Amino acid sequence: MSILSRYPASAPSAKLQSQTAFVVDLALVEVHSSYLVAQGLLHENNAPTNGKSTLQDCLEQMSDCRDSLKQSKRRLQHLDGHNPPLMVTAQVMDVRVWLSASLTYMETCWDELADPSAALLKSLLRGSAQKKVVPLLSMALKFSETLQQPGGTSIAYALS
């Protein structure tokens, strides 16, 4: 529209809950990618037998993490700032609990990979995913903390 007007266009913006849902979605993609790698390793014929139980445990933890992230994303997408403040606060608290649980699930998996017998698995699963998932979940938790404040659902940030 700035073409039709001599006034500059305003910078695009997004509500904090949309940005939080986006960050959660990025974390979900990373966790899902790790899940697929772990699943592939589990079904390889030459997978070390002593690492299979660790892999199965990690797959369960990652599955629980994905479920919690999906719940968080759904809740964020349906969060209505016009609801009574106590209801919004409770809904955002649910998101924060699910995000915190997601981080705990992944940390539990990564702790299991710290076992020396799982060195190969650790190199394949822990490194890149941990470097991406932890900052994303930390960011989502920080955003949700702001969302929980009075008026947090009406905050919009410029995307430029």
pLDDT tens string 69-118? 999 999 999 988 788 888 888 999 999 999 999 999 999 988 887 777 66
Instruction: Say what the pLDDT of residue 6 is.
Output: 67
Sign of the torsion angle spanned by Cα atoms 21, 76, 138, 40:
negative
Portion of the chain with pLDDT greater than 70, in percent? 78
Cβ within 8 Å of residue 127, ≥6 positions away: none
Q: Would residue 156 count as lying in a domain?
A: no
For 82, other C-beta atoms within 10 Å of its C-beta total 8
What rounded mean pLDDT belongs to the chain?
83
The larger pLDDT score, comparing residue 98 to residue 39, is at: 98
Look at residue 90 and tell me if it is in a domain. Answer: yes
Q: Is residue 2 part of a domain?
A: no
* pLDDT for residue 132 is more than 80: yes
60 domain residue, yes or no: no
Euclidean distance between CA atoms 81 and 152, whole angstroms: 8
The 8-class DSSP code of residue 155 comes to -
Is residue 49 over pLDDT 80?
Answer: no
Residue 155 is predicted with a pLDDT of 73
Q: Is residue 31 part of a domain?
A: no
Cβ–Cβ under 8 Å, residues 36 and 129: no
- The type of residue at 130 is Q
Domain count of the chain? 1
How would you classify residue 15: left for phi > 0, otherwise alpha for psi between -120 and 50, otherwise beta?
beta
Domain assignment of residue 127, yes or no:
yes
Bigger pLDDT: 122 vs 110? 110
Mean pLDDT of 38-65: 81
Within a domain: residue 3? no
Domain presence at residue 74: yes
Q: Which domain holds residue 86?
A: 14-26+69-144
